[in-house]
Amino acid sequence: MTASEVIEEIERLPSKEKTEVLTALLRSRTTKRQLSPDELVALADQMVATKDPEEADRLEKEILAGFYGR
């Protein structure tokens, strides 16, 4: 499977599953960098959708770190 095919498959996923994929990819990165607007929106969508306050807090920290590139 090529990278383009993987991307096409990800784009076909429902929003929640797409967010999970992006989150897993973000966690796998070892370098600290600013996140793209799409990555930040995906995390924000996941934060809004969660009913777990601890998960919401974790995602908020991840968004802030990604915004500032920490």
Tokens of 32: 């600290």
Rounded to 10 deg, the angle between the 15-28 and 37-49 helix axes is 120
Which of 46, 38, 48, 43 lies closest to 65 in space, CA to CA? Answer: 43
pLDDT of residue 63: 92
Report the C-alpha gap between 47 and 42 in whole angstroms: 9
pLDDT of residue 56: 92
Average pLDDT of the segment spanning 44-51 = 92
What's the pTM value of the predicted model, to 2 decimals? 0.55
pLDDT tens-digit readout, 4-44: 888 899 889 998 898 888 888 877 765 577 888 998 999 99
